[in-house]
Structure 1
Amino acid sequence: MAAPINNTLMSLITQSKLTGPNYEDWHCNIMLLLKAEGLNSVLTEESPTIPSTDMDGTEDIAEFTAEQLKERVDIFKSYHQRDSKTQLYILNSIDKSIVEFVKGISSAGDMMAKIKELYSQQDTHIEYKLVDKIHSLKLEPETPVLDHVMKIQNLFEQLEGLGSEKFSLKYKRNIIFKSLPGSFSPFIFNFNMNKLDVQLTELGNILQEVKRAIKKERQKCTSPR
């Protein structure tokens, strides 16, 4: 049953090749494939050596029996076969423009390290943009408050999904309060004074009612007497 699973994973990574911005998704997919193929360990293994007769710092072949030498050769061949297969999977899963950056790299582990060096830092840029968006978002006059709250909640989920710290509910509520116009100030003051504790969806519903009340009060004040 392993083959269909592996074929599905291989299809997934070849259809969604690494282009740069999708590094995290690509890394997850390629690691799933390598694990399914029993190849993920080759990324962290050191290349085994074969005893040699040359005076080059390697082990002396004379110190090994024929059986021990055969075992070492088999380990050497197995490692390089697995490493070569892993390199092929990696090369088939990345865009042609990226292949140029890993050409000439001799091991799958070094290939993955190079790709990580090139593209994992993009998460930092994405994270910065999300933080900036969260802190600069303001409630638009015609936007339902619940939609606004859910948008901020979604941005926090994206940020936390990048491996960022988990933000407290209180902090998220304060960010939402900061994004509201001054007309919500009395409600925010009372909310904090009474130390209320509600989830963001419930808060969105409450704020929606507050907005209706504010609108009704304004209409009452501006209507002719």
Structure 2
Amino acid sequence: MTSRNPLSIILDQNKLTGPNYNDWFRNLKIVLSSEKILYVLDNKPPKEAASDISETELAKLEKWWDHDLQAKSYMLASMSNELQRRFEEAVNAADIHFHLKELYGVQTRSERHATVKELMTTRLRDGTSVHEHGVRMIGLIEKLVGARRGYSW
């Protein structure tokens, strides 16, 4: 039985509700760094083991999945009940991280500037359908509106 990380109390006291994503994520990184498992948030899971995998490689794979399960558990345990239900079926911690960042990550000023620039300079090109162009423009506008609300689409 492993002992509880004393730093995890900051996750208990600051559960993710959505708008507090940046603060929650900063606290999560502190806890996962102390556990030396932060890498699972940014790395894709390894491929399934081949039947002829070496014992060393199998041990590495099992260690990665154990670390991923630990990170995913920290993440889910520190979310509101609504968000837990939404992400409980997620395959791995990196997947949860990606979706949370898409939903709640705040765009930086330079990202907003780049989006505005793209919106203002995008033109309908020859051979492109009006529908595709419209969808692209709507996507850029939604990205800006989401950023204004504190969300990144």
When the two structures are superposed, what TM-score results if normalisation uses the length of structure 2? 0.64
Q: Name the CA distance, whole Å, in 2 between partners of 1:25 and 1:113.
A: 16
What is the aligned counterpart of 1:109 among 91, 94, 108? Answer: 94
Matched position secondary structure for 2:64? helix
Give the drift of 1:78. Answer: 0.3
Q: Name the CA distance, whole Å, in 2 between partners of 1:70 and 1:94.
A: 36
Residue 19 (structure 2) aligns with = 21
Q: Is the 8 A contact 1:13 1:29 kept in 2?
A: yes
Q: Is the 8 A contact 1:102 1:111 kept in 2?
A: yes
Q: Name the CA distance, whole Å, in 2 between partners of 1:25 and 1:90.
A: 13
Residue 153 (structure 1) aligns with = none
Which entry has the higher C-alpha Rg, 1 or 2? 1
Residue 125 in 1 paired to residue 148 in 2?
yes
Residue 78 in 1 paired to residue 101 in 2?
no
Give the drift of 1:50. Answer: 1.6
The structure with the largest helix share of the pair is 1
Residue 72 (structure 2) aligns with = 87
Q: Deviations over 1:123-174 (max 9, x none)?
A: 82256xxxxxxxxxxxxxxxxxxxxxxxxxxxxxxxxxxxxxxxxxxxxxxx
Give the drift of 1:46. Answer: 2.9
Q: Name the CA distance, whole Å, in 2 between partners of 1:16 and 1:102.
A: 18
Residue 173 (structure 1) aligns with = none
Matched position secondary structure for 2:69? helix
Q: Name the CA distance, whole Å, in 1 between partners of 2:22 and 2:98.
A: 14
Matched position secondary structure for 1:79? helix
Residue 34 (structure 1) aligns with = 32
Alignment: residue pair count: 109
The two structures, once aligned, show a CA RMSD in angstroms of 2.3
Q: Name the CA distance, whole Å, in 1 between partners of 2:19 and 2:148.
A: 10
Q: Name the CA distance, whole Å, in 1 between partners of 2:96 and 2:81.
A: 14
**1:1-225 aligned within 5 A:** 6-7=5-6, 9-48=7-46, 49-52=48-51, 61=52, 69-121=54-106, 124-126=147-149
Q: Which amino acid aligns with 2:44?
A: E
When the two structures are superposed, what TM-score results if normalisation uses the length of structure 1? 0.44
Matched position secondary structure for 2:79? coil
Matched position secondary structure for 1:38? coil
The percentage of counterpart residues that share the same residue type is 28
